[in-house]
C-alpha cells in the first residue's frame, strides 16, 4: 500500500483539455473521491492514473515510483469498473484467478489467494458460477474480489455503484466503506454522485471542466466551498446562490437587490469580505438549513415568493424566488405556506457564503 501523487497532470485532445493541470496527493490508506458532473474529466483522470490512456503532461507517482511510462500491469494498481467488466466466459473462480494467472503465480498460491478473497467478500459459494448467473450486487463483489486478490498499491474505482438499484447502492456503499476500513486500502473512487463522495471519502476532489476545483475533506468542501461551482455541486438540495450588488454607506456595508431594490445589511465580518469583491457585485450563498422563513417583513430578511412546496415527511422543502434566483429552504412540516405566497427569508450571517460576482471564488476578509 502506498500513496498516489499527481503533479500537473494534463490530457488534451487537440485544443480540448480533458484534464488540465490537476495536482493532488493521496495519502496511504486514504479514500479519495473524484467527483464532478459528466464530462468533468474525472474518469479520464482515473484512466491516466491507471495508465490506460497516455498523458499529455505532468507526473504520476505511485508508491515511490514515477509511473508515467509504465504499462497498466506494471503500475501495481487494481481497477473496478462501472459495468464490473467481469469476463463473461469465465467462472467466478477464474475471474478472480485471472490477474494472478497473468502474473504466472504458482497454482497453489493462486487458489489460496482466490479462496481468501472470496471469503473476505462472502462469495465462496459462487465460485463455480458464471457472471451472468449472478445478481448485480454479487457481480460487484466479484469485481472487487478480482481487484483484491492482487493486493495492489491502490484501488481505482470507476463509478462502481452506478449500475445498482438505489437500495443495493446504499447497502454496497457501506460495504465498500467497510472494505476500505478493514484493508486500510488506498482507494481513488470516481463518482458523479456527490452524496456517495461525501458519505464514503476521506477527501474529495471536485472537478469541473477538466480543472480540479477543490481538494479537501468532505466537511471542508461542504462547509467552505472555494467557488460557486463547488457550492452548488455539493449538498442536496443545492446551496442557493443569489447574485446581489454591494453598497457601502460609511462603515456600514449592505447587499442590494439590483432588481427589487431591497437591502440586506451585513455583519462586520461579512462586510469586510464583501468589500473584497472585485466589481461591486457578489453572489450570496446559503444552505437550506441555515435559512429562516418569516411570514411578514423582518429585519435582515429578504422578500421572496413561494414557488413550490415539497413535503417529504419529517421535513418540508420549499423553493422560493428571491431576486429572480431560486432559494431552497427546509421547513418544519407544521409550517403552512402556499405557492405564490409572499414570504421573507432571514439569512444566518455566520453561516452565509459570499462569492465574488466576477471570479465566482469565495471572498475572504481583507
Question: Is residue 107 a contact residue for another protein (CB under 8 A)?
Answer: no
Cell of 316: 418540508
Q: Considering the complex, what minimum distance in angstroms separates the CB of residue 131 from another protein?
A: 11
CB 171: neighbour CB atoms within 10 A? 12
Q: Name residues contacting another protein, limited to 10-69 (CB under 8 A).
A: 47, 50, 52
Question: Is residue 77 a contact residue for another protein (CB under 8 A)?
Answer: yes
Dihedral angle sign, alpha carbons of residues 179, 181, 183, 186: positive
Residue 189: what are its φ and ψ, rounded to 5°?
-125, 120
β-pairing verdict for 263-265 and 281-286: unpaired
Residue from 66, 73, 184, 342 binding another protein (CB under 8 A): 73
Q: Which is nearer to another protein, 66 or 102 (CB)?
A: 102
Question: Is residue 87 a contact residue for another protein (CB under 8 A)?
Answer: yes
Question: Is residue 83 a contact residue for another protein (CB under 8 A)?
Answer: yes
For residues 121 and 144, the answer to whether their CB atoms sit within 8 Å is: yes
Q: Considering the complex, what minimum distance in angstroms separates the CB of residue 90 from another protein?
A: 8
Q: Which is nearer to another protein, 49 or 354 (CB)?
A: 49
Q: Which is nearer to another protein, 83 or 278 (CB)?
A: 83
Q: Which is nearer to another protein, 77 or 206 (CB)?
A: 77
β-pairing verdict for 292-294 and 301-311: unpaired
Residue from 102, 298, 315, 365 binding another protein (CB under 8 A): 102
Q: Considering the complex, what minimum distance in angstroms separates the CB of residue 76 from another protein?
A: 10
Residue 157 CA neighbour count, 13 Å, CB half: 33
Question: Is residue 163 a contact residue for another protein (CB under 8 A)?
Answer: no
For residues 23 and 8, the answer to whether their CB atoms sit within 8 Å is: yes
Q: Considering the complex, what minimum distance in angstroms separates the CB of residue 168 from another protein?
A: 20
Per-residue exposure over 315-338, b if at least 16 CB sit within 10 Å of its own CB, e if not: ebebbbebbebbbbbbbeeeeebe
Count of residues near another protein by CB under 8 A: 22
- Which residues does 178 contact at the CB level (< 8 Å), separation at least 6? none
Residue 178: what are its φ and ψ, rounded to 5°?
-65, -45
Question: Is residue 99 a contact residue for another protein (CB under 8 A)?
Answer: yes
Question: Is residue 273 a contact residue for another protein (CB under 8 A)?
Answer: no
Q: Name residues contacting another protein, limited to 315-344 (CB under 8 A).
A: none
Q: Considering the complex, what minimum distance in angstroms separates the CB of residue 210 from another protein?
A: 21
Q: Considering the complex, what minimum distance in angstroms separates the CB of residue 93 from another protein?
A: 14
For residues 188 and 34, the answer to whether their CB atoms sit within 8 Å is: yes
What CA–CA distance (Å, rounded) separates 41 from 35?
A: 9
Question: Is residue 146 a contact residue for another protein (CB under 8 A)?
Answer: yes
Residue from 56, 68, 82, 275 binding another protein (CB under 8 A): 82
What CA–CA distance (Å, rounded) separates 59 from 63?
A: 13
Question: Is residue 88 a contact residue for another protein (CB under 8 A)?
Answer: yes
Q: Considering the complex, what minimum distance in angstroms separates the CB of residue 96 from another protein?
A: 10
Residue 99: what are its φ and ψ, rounded to 5°?
-60, -30
Q: Give the end-to-end CA distance of the chain in Å, rounded to a whole number.
A: 43
Q: Which residues bind another protein (CB under 8 A)?
A: 47, 50, 52, 71-73, 77-79, 81-83, 85, 87-90, 98-99, 102-103, 146
Amino acid at each position: 500500500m502506498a500513496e498516489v501523487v499527481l503533479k500537473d497532470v494534463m490530457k488534451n485532445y487537440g485544443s480540448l483539455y480533458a484534464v488540465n493541470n490537476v495536482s493532488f496527493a493521496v495519502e496511504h490508506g486514504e479514500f479519495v473521491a473524484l467527483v464532478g458532473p459528466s464530462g468533468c474529466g474525472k474518469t479520464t483522470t482515473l484512466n491516466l492514473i491507471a495508465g490506460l490512456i497516455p498523458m499529455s503532461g505532468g507526473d504520476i507517482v505511485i508508491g515511490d515510483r514515477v509511473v508515467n511510462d509504465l504499462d497498466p500491469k506494471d503500475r501495481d494498481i487494481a481497477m473496478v469498473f462501472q459495468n464490473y467488466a467481469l469476463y463473461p466466459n469465465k467462472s467466478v473462480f477464474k475471474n478472480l484467478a485471472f490477474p494472478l494467472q497473468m502474473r504466472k503465480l504458482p497454482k497453489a498460491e493462486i487458489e489460496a489467494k482466490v479462496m481468501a478473497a472470496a471469503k473476505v467478500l462472502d462469495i465462496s459459494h459462487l465460485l463455480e458460477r458464471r457472471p451472468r448467473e449472478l445478481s448485480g450486487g454479487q457481480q460487484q463483489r466479484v469485481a472487487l474480489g478480482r481487484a483484491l486478490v492482487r493486493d495492489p498499491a491502490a484501488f481505482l474505482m470507476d463509478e462502481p455503484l452506478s449500475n445498482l438499484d438505489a437500495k443495493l447502492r446504499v447497502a454496497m456503499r457501506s460495504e465498500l466503506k467497510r472494505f476500505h476500513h478493514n484493508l486500510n486500502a488506498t482507494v481513488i473512487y470516481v463518482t458523479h454522485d456527490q452524496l456517495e463522495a461525501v458519505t464514503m471519502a476521506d477527501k474529495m476532489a471536485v472537478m469541473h471542466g477538466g480543472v480540479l476545483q477543490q481538494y479537501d475533506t468532505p466537511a471542508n468542501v461542504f462547509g467552505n466551498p472555494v467557488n460557486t461551482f463547488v457550492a452548488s455541486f455539493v449538498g442536496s438540495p443545492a446551496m442557493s446562490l443569489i447574485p446581489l450588488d454591494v453598497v457601502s454607506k460609511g462603515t456600514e456595508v449592505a447587499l442590494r437587490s439590483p432588481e427589487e431594490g431591497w437591502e440586506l445589511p451585513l455583519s462586520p465580518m461579512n462586510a469586510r469580505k464583501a468589500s473584497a469583491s472585485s466589481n461591486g457585485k457578489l453572489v450570496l450563498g446559503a444552505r437550506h438549513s441555515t435559512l429562516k422563513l418569516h411570514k411578514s417583513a423582518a429585519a435582515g430578511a429578504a422578500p421572496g415568493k413561494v414557488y413550490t412546496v415539497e413535503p417529504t415527511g419529517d421535513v418540508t422543502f420549499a423553493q422560493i424566488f428571491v431576486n429572480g434566483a431560486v432559494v431552497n429552504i427546509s421547513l418544519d412540516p407544521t409550517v403552512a405556506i402556499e405557492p405564490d405566497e409572499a414570504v421573507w427569508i432571514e439569512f444566518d450571517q455566520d453561516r452565509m457564503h459570499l462569492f465574488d460576482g466576477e471570479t465566482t471564488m469565495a471572498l475572504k476578509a481583507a
